[in-house]
Amino acid sequence: MSGGRRWILVVPIAVLVTALLAGVATWAQSGNIERDLVGRAQTALFEAGLPTGDVRFDGRDATLSSIPPDKALRALEVVQRVEGVRSAKFNGDVIPVAPSTTASPPPPTTSTTASPPPTTSTTAPPPTDKAGVQAEIDRLLAEAPVSFEPDSARLTPEGEQAARSIAIALAKAPAGFRYRVTGHVARGPGGEGAALKLSRDRARAVARILTSNGLAAKRVTYRGLGDTRPSTGGEEDRRVEITVV
C-alpha cells in the first residue's frame, strides 16, 4: 500500500519536471530565433544602403528605431521582406517622411496611324555643386516660405512643412556641405534688442527642423540679424534664409 502511494506522488513530479524542461527549451529557441532575425534584418538594411539603426524583435514582430526619417519608410519595407518576419513597425522616435512623388503621364491614346515612339521623361538628378544646391534652396523658399506665428518663434503648420521639404532636399546634397540659417524680422515695439532675439529664436527653430530630419548638427549653424537688413518687400522683412557655406 505504501509503495502505491509513493508511485502516485512520483507521477505528478515527473510531469512537472517535463513541463519545466519544455518551457526552458521553448524560451531558448525563441531567443535564438529573435537573435537570428535581428542579424538578418540588419544585414538586409546594410545591403540596401540604409542605416541599420536599432532593430528589436518580440517573437517575429520587429520594432525599428534610430533611423533617419527620410529613410524610415524604405527601411520598414526592407525589414518586412526578410524571411521569417511577421510584421514590422516604428518606435516613437522615428517620424517617417514620405518621399515626394510626381504624377505619371497618362497612357498614350491608340490611333490607326503610325506615330513616333513616346519619349520617356526623367527627373533631373539633385544638384551636387554649391551653386546648384543654393538655387534649389532659394526655389523652395520662394515657393513655400518658412512662416511663423505672429511675434513668436513657433512655426505655422505650413512653415514647418516648408522647413521639412528643405531638409529632405539637403539630405540628398553632398555630405561635405554646411548650411547657415539666418533669421530676419521687422522692427517691433520691443526695439532692436527684441528684434534680434526673435530673429535668432526663429533661425534656431528652423535649424532644429533640419537636424531632426537627416542633417548632422555639426553641418548646421544659425544666427539672427534682427531688423538690420530690411528688404524692399515689406512682409519679406520677416523671413528666414538658408545659405550654403
Instruction: List pLDDT tens digits, range 48-59.
Output: 888 877 888 888
Query: Considering the domain boundaries, does residue 109 fall inside one?
Result: no
Query: CA 86 to CA 216: how far, in whole Å?
Result: 33
Q: Are residues 60 and 140 in the same domain?
A: no
- Within 10 Å of residue 71's Cβ, how many Cβ atoms? 22
Q: Is 67 helix (H, G, I), strand (E, B) or coil?
A: coil
CB 185 within 8 A of CB 198: yes
Query: Considering the domain boundaries, does residue 175 fall inside one?
Result: yes
Q: What is the mean pLDDT of residues 92-121?
A: 56
Number of domains in the chain: 2
pLDDT in tens, 119-130: 554 556 778 899
Written as nine digits, the cell of 177 is 556641405
pTM score of the predicted model:
0.49
Query: Considering the domain boundaries, does residue 120 fall inside one?
Result: no
Q: Are residues 134 and 239 in the same domain?
A: yes
Per-residue DSSP letter, 174: -
Q: Are residues 65 and 145 in the same domain?
A: no
Query: Considering the domain boundaries, does residue 4 fall inside one?
Result: no
73: containing domain: 12-90
Query: Considering the domain boundaries, does residue 147 fall inside one?
Result: yes
pLDDT greater than 50 at residue 103: no
pLDDT greater than 50 at residue 66: yes
Under the phi-then-psi rule, with left for phi > 0, alpha for psi from -120 to 50, and beta for the rest, what region is 110?
beta
Query: Considering the domain boundaries, does residue 5 fall inside one?
Result: no
Q: Give me the pLDDT at residue 102, please.
A: 46
Phi, psi of 23 (to 5 degrees): -65, -45
CB 123 within 8 A of CB 224: no
Q: Is 149 helix (H, G, I), strand (E, B) or coil?
A: coil
The single-letter code of the amino acid at 5 is: R
